[in-house]
Amino acid sequence: MTWVSLNSESYTLVRAGLGKSSRVAIAASDQWFSKHTNDVYRLERLTHFMIARAKIAEIEGHGNAAFDRYMEAYRFAAEIGRGGLALDFLSGLSCKALVLRSFMSLVPSLTPLQANHALQLIDRTENETEQVTVIDKRSHRWEYATYGLKRRLAKMDGHSRRNCEESLIETLGVVEEMDAKSPRKPRKGVPQTGSRTTSEVSR
């Protein structure tokens, strides 16, 4: 309870933030990711703080206040991963689960109107959540933009590196096959040479 009372200013900032649209501001940088990881941890701590506020109201018998606080906590948790990388998505998912787990103790005492409001909020939030494939593509683009292909290969273990190289070779082979089937007129001044095979590329 003391922890909650000492951080009332944080709640004021959260309420102001929930009134605005937000996204994770991504930068292709190692330094950004290091700082962002700490920011995500602080957002998780802030979610715990908001759950604690709701739980105190619930214990004190203020059911309506507890309900409103749980709903705010859920909305906040849902915003953590919006537009972000896999780290943000998983953090938001975990925080939403924490809120709902604490909220379950209040469910038996909800009015029909409150229950309907909670279901609508959860459904709307889930419908607005980005697909995992979108998060995965964004995370891979960020990783490539930050580290580059050579650095990514250097960071892999032997097995992962071989798999990546084999995938690249296979892709080159498909591209060459498609290229060979596509009729093209020779450009002026460019000598015609035979195309390389996939095995030659791999060497």
Q: Are residues 100 and 174 in the same domain?
A: no
Q: Are residues 84 and 170 in the same domain?
A: no
Q: Tell me if 63 is assigned to some domain.
A: yes
Confidence label for 202 from pLDDT (cuts 50, 70 and 90): very low
pLDDT at residue number 28: 86
pLDDT at residue number 198: 36
Per-residue pLDDT reduced to its tens digit, 68-115:
999 999 999 998 888 999 999 999 999 999 999 999 999 999 999 999
CA atoms within a 13 Å half-sphere pointing along the CA-CB vector of 30:
4
Q: Tell me if 26 is assigned to some domain.
A: yes
Residues 48 and 32: their CA atoms lie apart, in Å, by 24
Q: Tell me if 58 is assigned to some domain.
A: yes
Q: Tell me if 161 is assigned to some domain.
A: yes
Q: Are residues 172 and 125 in the same domain?
A: no
As for how many domains the chain has, the answer is 2
Q: Tell me if 149 is assigned to some domain.
A: no
Per-residue pLDDT reduced to its tens digit, 135-186:
999 998 888 888 776 666 666 666 665 665 566 555 555 445 544 555 544 4
Tell me if residue 193 falls in helix, strand or coil: coil
Q: Tell me if 151 is assigned to some domain.
A: no
Q: What is the pTM of this model?
A: 0.67
Residue 170: which domain range? Answer: 156-182+193-203
Q: Are residues 90 and 175 in the same domain?
A: no
Q: Are residues 94 and 51 in the same domain?
A: yes
Q: Are residues 134 and 165 in the same domain?
A: no
Per-residue pLDDT reduced to its tens digit, 46-73:
999 899 999 999 999 999 999 999 999 9
With a cut of 80, say whether residue 5 has pLDDT above it. no
Q: Tell me if 187 is assigned to some domain.
A: no
Q: Are residues 99 and 125 in the same domain?
A: yes
pLDDT at residue number 181: 54
Q: Are residues 125 and 161 in the same domain?
A: no
Tokens 């060979």 label which residue?
180
Inter-residue contact 72 to 50 (CB < 8 Å): yes
Q: Are residues 71 and 171 in the same domain?
A: no
pLDDT at residue number 17: 65
Q: Are residues 80 and 123 in the same domain?
A: yes
CA atoms within a 13 Å half-sphere pointing along the CA-CB vector of 179:
11
